[in-house]
């Protein structure tokens, strides 16, 4: 699915809705969330080497920086803010360089958006690669337009300070991490050069001093430790565009299977059961989150308990913000003792449904990325 660039009124409206939810005096599932948590039998063990969201501890619609997942592909560079510069060149009429102070002097915007790793949910040990934060920075589009995009430019390529050595056709080449966006996507109003996260200077693990924010796209597109933007007249095909972060998916056509490779880009429709809490009145409140790329509004979330029917859940915080996760809840009455399996699914306004694990979209996917299948959780009462 594609989406036209947000107009200024829509952009501001989404920001106001998101910020209103941020400052509302509510926690995850509150007040029904007040009670005794029931642990999941399948919860992944904490990993000291990898910072991940702990779903059963999730209580805030905006994820604190300390709880926000972080992934790096090369090193985690120390980039001094005082000497940092962003160079913009390639197919522009006026190549420019911007200091951090110069970026901060430009028009500032805040935007609340959910960031998900494209590998999130691919294994039982990696289901917490997601978070929702308030990003502050300056819009990318006006800066690019000031540099004067040449007509032949079709892509903006974003280069980072982190780097490594890549073997290409038997030879070693030094490479910086880089990803690209089409000019159409790069010029959308909500793409930011962000220097703050949740009101604080951008942490090192999240790309300090400046990172790219691309609402609705998987985290691989949100380039961290940003140092350079180049405008190109042809597709950029570095490791993280052309060889890695590529989804291989089959489609059955008669007796044949057609295999396609596509670049990981926009987020897929997805939901997760996050917490189960026993209230004082004995009712179990099941809470969770649902999200997509924001191109089509989310219409509903349903919960299935064991072999029972799909039952509607209630959408809560974030339901009016395009690029944020939506919290949902369900009151489970008269739950029987024993083990139970809970699974959620989300449907968007166009009728698209989050696929089950045996759906062809998932079963015929042979790579790690874009694991948006329904994810069962197990508890014991």
The CATH number of the domain holding residue 326 is 2.60.40.650
147-178 pLDDT, tens per residue? 999 999 999 999 999 999 999 999 999 999 99
Same-domain status, 98 and 233: yes
CATH number of the domain to which 65 belongs: 3.90.420.10
Closest residue by Cα to residue 122 from 377, 367, 376: 367
User: At which of 248, 282, 308 does a domain end?
Assistant: 248
Kindly list the strands in the beta sheet with 226-232, ordered across the sheet, starting from the edge strand earlier in the chain.
Answer: 96-99, 85-90, 226-232, 155-168, 171-182
Same-domain status, 101 and 234: yes
Query: What is the rounded CA–CA span in Å between residue 16 and residue 86?
Result: 29
Same-domain status, 65 and 200: yes
Same-domain status, 313 and 240: no
Q: Is the pTM higher than 0.95?
A: no
Contact 168, 146 (CB under 8 A): no
Task: pLDDT band for 44, please (50, 70, 90 cuts).
Answer: confident
Q: Residue 274: give the domain boundaries.
A: 270-380
Half-sphere exposure of residue 1: CA atoms within 13 angstroms, side-chain side? 17
Same-domain status, 223 and 358: no
35 within some domain: no
217-246 pLDDT, tens per residue? 999 999 999 999 999 999 999 999 999 999
For the chain, the average pLDDT equals 91
Same-domain status, 151 and 68: yes
CA distances from 175 to 161, 168, 212, 301 (A): 10, 11, 19, 43
Six token digits for residue 177: 């991490």
Contact 266, 293 (CB under 8 A): yes
123 within some domain: yes
Closest residue by Cα to residue 22 from 108, 132, 128: 132
Task: pLDDT band for 49, please (50, 70, 90 cuts).
Answer: low
Same-domain status, 162 and 79: yes
Low-confidence winner among 26-40, 48-62, 245-259 (lowest mean pLDDT): 26-40
39 within some domain: no
């Amino acid at each position: 699915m594609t989406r036209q660039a947000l107009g200024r009124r829509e952009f501001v409206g989404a920001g106001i809705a998101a910020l209103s939810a941020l400052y509302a005096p509510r926690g995850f599932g509150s007040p029904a969330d007040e009670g005794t948590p029931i642990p999941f039998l399948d919860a992944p063990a904490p990993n000291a080497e990898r910072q991940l969201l702990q779903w059963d501890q999730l209580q805030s619609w905006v994820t604190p920086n300390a709880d926000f997942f972080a992934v790096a592909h090369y090193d985690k560079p120390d980039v001094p803010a005082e000497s940092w510069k962003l160079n913009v060149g390639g197919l522009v009429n006026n190549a420019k360089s911007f200091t951090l102070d110069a970026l901060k002097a430009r028009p500032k915007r805040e935007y609340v958006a959910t960031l998900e790793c494209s590998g999130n949910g691919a294994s039982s040990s990696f289901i917490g690669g997601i978070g929702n934060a308030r990003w502050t920075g300056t819009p990318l589009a006006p800066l690019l337009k000031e540099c004067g995009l040449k007509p032949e430019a079709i892509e903006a390529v974003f280069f980072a300070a982190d780097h490594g050595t890549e073997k290409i056709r038997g030879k070693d080449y030094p490479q910086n991490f880089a990803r690209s966006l089409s000019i159409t996507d790069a010029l959308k109003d909500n793409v930011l050069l962000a220097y703050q996260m949740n009101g604080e200077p951008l942490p090192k693990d999240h790309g300090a001093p400046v990172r790219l924010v691309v609402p609705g796209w998987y985290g691989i597109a949100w380039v961290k430790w940003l140092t350079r933007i180049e405008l190109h007249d042809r597709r950029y095909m570095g490791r993280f565009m052309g060889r890695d972060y590529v989804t291989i998916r089959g489609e059955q056509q008669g007796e044949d299977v057609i295999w396609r490779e596509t670049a990981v880009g926009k987020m897929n429709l997805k939901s997760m059961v996050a917490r189960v809490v026993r209230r004082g009145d004995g009712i179990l409140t099941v809470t969770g989150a649902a999200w997509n790329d924001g191109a089509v509004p989310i219409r509903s979330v349903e919960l299935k308990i064991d072999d029972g029917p799909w039952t509607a859940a209630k959408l809560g915080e974030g339901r009016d913000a395009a690029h944020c996760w939506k919290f949902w809840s369900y009151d489970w009455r008269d739950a029987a003792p024993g083990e139970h399996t809970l699974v959620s699914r989300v449907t968007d306004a166009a009728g698209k449904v989050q696929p089950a694990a045996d759906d062809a979209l998932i079963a015929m996917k042979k790579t790690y990325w874009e694991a948006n299948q329904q994810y069962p959780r197990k508890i014991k009462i």
